Amino acid sequence: MKMMKMIDKEDLKGLKYYLSFIVLISTIYLYSMFTGYRFLSFNESSHKKERAGSRIYIHK
C-alpha cells in the first residue's frame, strides 16, 4: 500500500500502455503456471493424438 502511494496517479496514466502489457503478460504467466505449460518447450516434446506407424527416433 505504501509502495502504491509512491506511484503517482499521473505516472500511472503515463504508464497505461505498459500497465496493460503487464496485465497481459501476467495473465499468460498465471495461465502457464496453473496449467503446467512450460514456455519454450515446443521443441522438447511433441503431443500426438494417436500413434501412426512407428516413431522416428532422432539421435543426433
Partner 1 sequence: MEEETTIVATKTTCYKCITGFDSYLNSNAYSIICPKCGTLYTIYNGVLEKTTEIVNIPENPIYIPIGTSGIINGIKYLVIGYAYKKENGTNYCWQEYTLFNPIHGQAYLSQYEGHWTYLTELNKLPLVSKDGLTAIFDGTEYNLFSRYKAELIAARSEWIYRFSTKEMPRVEEFVIPGCMISREQTNVNITWYKGEYIQPEIIKKEFKVESMPEIIGVGAIQPFRGKFKTEGLRNLVILLVAIWGIAQLCFLWTAKEEIVFTQAFTINDSLNKKEIYSKPFDLKYGTTNAEVKVSTNIDNNWMYTAITLVNEKTGDLYDVDMEAEYYHGYEGGENWSEGENWVSKVISQVPEGRYYLIIYPEKPTNMASVFLDISVARDVFVFSNGLIILVILGIFPAFYFYRVKNFEKKRWYYSNFSPYEDDEDD
* Min separation Cβ 7 and partner 1, Å: 5
Asked if 38 and 32 count as a contact pair (C-beta separation under 8 A), the reply is yes
Query: What nine digits make up the cell of 40?
Result: 519454450
Residues of the shown chain interacting with partner 1 in the complex, contacts defined by CB under 8 A? 3-4, 6-8, 10-15, 18, 21-22, 25-26, 28-30, 32-33, 35-41, 44-51, 55, 57-60
**CB under 8 Å to 40, separation ≥6 — which residues?**
none
Q: Is 53 helix (H, G, I), strand (E, B) or coil?
A: coil
* Min separation Cβ 23 and partner 1, Å: 11
* Min separation Cβ 60 and partner 1, Å: 7
